[in-house]
Amino acid sequence: MWTEYITATSTEQAVRMLAEKGTKARIVAGATDLILELERGVRTGTETLIDITRIPGIDRITMDEDGVIHLGPLVTHNHVAASKLLREKAYPLARASWEVGAPQIRNRGTVAGNLITGSPANDTITPLMALDAWLTLQSSRGERKVKLQDFYTGVRKTVLAADEMLVDIAFKGLDATQHGTFVKVALRRAQAISVINLAIILTLDSATVKQAVITLGAVAPKIIHATEAESYLSGKTLTDEVIAKAAELTRDASRPIDDIRSSADYRREMVKVFTARGLKSLRDGQEQAGMPDDPITLMGTSHSTGANGFSGAHHTEGSVIQTRINGRDYTFTSGFEKTLLRLLREDAGLIGTKEGCAEGECGACTVFLDGTAVMACMVPAPRAHGAEIVTVEGLANGEQLHPVQEAFIQDGAVQCGYCSPGFLMSAAKLLEERSKPTKNEIEQAITGNLCRCTGYYKIVQAIEDASNKLET
């Protein structure tokens, strides 16, 4: 898929490499979009990947003295969803990130990558557009700031030049008079692309709307503002009639297409319905309902970025990948052009980790990478260099099975068993994160794992039983 893989240790190095390699190189962050684009042949001509995941300090969310919030390029969706600061100052973004994929995808997928892929259905563009965000792009030619509004030139097309790296996402945090929400409509609750999504931010003077911002995703080639609805709401109180009219105006702003997920008519109607619901939830102070206060991330308690002490790497055909899997050192001289899943199965002979879809959808390939649950099919193999990996083979402590393994056996939470390694890994990471999870938290933890034959009742029961066993 790639012929050269450079793991950068500083932004300056990444930018220098981009300048040197030209259009044949691309930055890779979480790889959850890029691997699929390369495998499906959507992105041709890419030979060199420049991995930025080992650059220290660029995964931070901060607020400066002017109340401007900054997201580094390695801030993942789970960082955003778990951030108390963003929950308070940018709830629409926190909600959108929490709605992305499943925990294993959110642990690798970055907001920066989401913005750059630039699909009009991508979830974080809509709230960041409503927040009037701006981006800082760095190249060896210097730095420039671009408003997110001006970043897109069409479907998946941006003004990012081949030699530029996105180094900062910034926006003003919401103040006490501002309230916002994000609504996603999809064909199911996890691992689903938006049929439509929308963000609403209202500035209120007691019950009167001083200013309204409504942005819409997946209803036009780019994220759009419902400008007539925004103007209409200004100076109004949110009565049922006003909300109904604003919802109609928002619907009229949308220009959706028919596609495999929905007809254009359905999309238009959903824009109306969910704009009304969003406005009502804001009026009633219920906009945060449905999102847990402390979402399950499967990040683990001892995760690291893998940046500490990492001195950089340059992989081409035949280069060595040195890694630690299940507490044992491995040296590979093959497989650098593969995914981590294939490296584990084909080169390490660790076939417990399964391939169900190879597209990040099924969770059968879940492993721990530097302490965090990820989909191994979405990780480039060279990312394993200098990393610590745990697969299902490493879950037991010698002869002593992990409590989730015992519970799966006792409860008969297995039929064909193909999905089981992935479920076991998610469950084990959940219990590390929360020793006594609620049923809802168990369900959140396994949203990225599909089982086609056991059914989920026994699996959930087994995880509950394992947690009870850990308690005693």
Q: Is 418 near ligand FES (CB under 6 A)?
A: yes
The footprint of ligand FES on residues 329-358 (CB under 6 A) is 355-358
Length of the chain: 472
The footprint of ligand FAD on residues 346-375 (CB under 6 A) is 360-361
Q: Is 226 near ligand FES (CB under 6 A)?
A: no
Binder to ligand FAD among 8, 17, 34, 55 (CB under 6 A)?
34
> Least distance to ligand FAD from the beta carbon of 263, Å?
21
Q: Is 109 near ligand FES (CB under 6 A)?
A: no
Q: Is 73 near ligand FAD (CB under 6 A)?
A: yes
Q: Is 393 near ligand FAD (CB under 6 A)?
A: no
Q: Is 117 near ligand FAD (CB under 6 A)?
A: yes
Select the binding partner of residue 118 from ligand FES, ligand FAD, none (C-beta < 5 to 8 A, by kind): none
CA pair distance 438, 431, nearest whole angstrom: 11
Q: Is 168 near ligand FAD (CB under 6 A)?
A: no
Select the binding partner of residue 29 from ligand FAD, ligand FES, none (C-beta < 5 to 8 A, by kind): ligand FAD
Select the binding partner of residue 379 from ligand FES, ligand FAD, none (C-beta < 5 to 8 A, by kind): none
The span of 6-14, 171-179, 328-336, 362-370 binding ligand FES (CB under 6 A) equals: 362-370
Give first-to-last CA distance, the chain, whole Å. Answer: 48
Taking each helix axis from N to C end, the angle separating 240-253 and 264-283, rounded to the nearest 10 degrees, works out to 150
Q: Which of 106, 128, 126, 30 is nearest to 73 (CA)?
A: 30
* Other residues' Cβ atoms within 10 Å of the Cβ of residue 155: 12
Q: Is 282 near ligand FAD (CB under 6 A)?
A: no
Residue whose C-beta lies closest to ligand FAD: 113
CB nearer ligand FAD, residue 20 or residue 240: 20
Binder to ligand FAD among 166, 200, 325, 459 (CB under 6 A)?
166
Binder to ligand FAD among 59, 123, 393, 465 (CB under 6 A)?
123
- Number of residues located near ligand FES, criterion CB under 6 A: 22
- Number of residues located near ligand FAD, criterion CB under 6 A: 31
Q: Is 272 near ligand FAD (CB under 6 A)?
A: no
**Given the structure tokens 């970055």, which residue do they identify?**
110
43 near 87, Cβ under 8 Å? Answer: no
CB nearer ligand FES, residue 356 or residue 394: 356
The footprint of ligand FES on residues 433-472 (CB under 6 A) is 451-454
Q: Is 79 near ligand FAD (CB under 6 A)?
A: no
The footprint of ligand FAD on residues 237-256 (CB under 6 A) is none
CB nearer ligand FES, residue 33 or residue 168: 33
List contacts with ligand FAD (CB under 6 A). 26-34, 36, 73, 100-101, 105, 108-110, 112-114, 116-117, 122-123, 165-166, 191, 193, 360-361, 378
Please report, as ranges, the residues that interact with ligand FES according to CB under 6 A.
355-358, 360-365, 375, 377, 414-419, 451-454
